[in-house]
Structures are given as structure tokens and as C-alpha cells.
């Protein structure tokens, strides 16, 4: 799994999730439940991961959607 996004912006998380769903790219959102524990202060960013095989396609999709500046560095 590779992290493609890390943010506190829930609108961005939702938009990226919708784009990935529309392209049938499976993804996992980590730390989403931490907001319950931390009182929704947005102190802990949410992380979105895709499989190694889908990394390039997900990055291309988000770049074409104008969200390339939000991507984490590829490793």
C-alpha cells in the first residue's frame, strides 16, 4: 500500500474518495476514526492509501483532476 494523500480537509478526502471510486481504484482511509478520540480538532490528518499496483493510476487521475498538488511524494 502507498500513501497518496494526507490531510485534515474532509471535503478533499471525500472528493478524492469519489474520484477513486469512480475509477474503480480501491483505497483505504486511515486515521478517520481518530477524530472521535481527539474531539474533531483536526489535529490528526487522515491518510489515504492505494495498492502499489494502483499507485500510478491514482496519481494520474488526481493530477488530471487538478489535485496533483495534494499528492504525497511517491516513494
Q: In the numeric block, which cell numbers belong to residue 21?
A: 471510486
User: pLDDT tens, 3-23?
Assistant: 999 998 989 999 999 999 999
For position 39, what pLDDT does the model report? 61
Helix axes 10-22, 55-64, angle to 10 degrees: 110
For position 29, what pLDDT does the model report? 95
For position 75, what pLDDT does the model report? 63
What's the longest Cα–Cα distance across the chain? 35
- Rounded to an integer, the average pLDDT of 13-34 is 93
Q: In the numeric block, which cell numbers belong to residue 59?
A: 496519481
User: pLDDT tens, 40-58?
Assistant: 666 788 999 999 999 999 9
* Residues 6+ away with beta carbon under 8 Å from 39: none
Q: In the numeric block, which cell numbers belong to residue 57?
A: 493510476
For position 41, what pLDDT does the model report? 61
Amino acid at each position: 500500500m502507498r500513501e497518496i494523500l494526507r490531510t485534515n480537509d474532509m471535503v478533499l478526502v471525500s472528493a478524492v474518495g469519489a474520484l477513486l471510486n469512480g475509477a474503480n481504484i480501491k483505497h483505504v482511509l486511515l486515521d478517520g476514526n481518530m477524530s472521535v478520540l481527539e474531539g474533531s480538532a483536526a489535529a490528526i490528518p487522515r491518510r489515504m492509501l492505494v495498492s502499489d499496483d494502483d499507485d500510478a493510476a491514482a496519481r494520474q487521475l488526481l493530477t488530471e483532476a487538478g489535485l496533483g498538488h495534494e499528492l504525497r511524494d511517491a516513494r
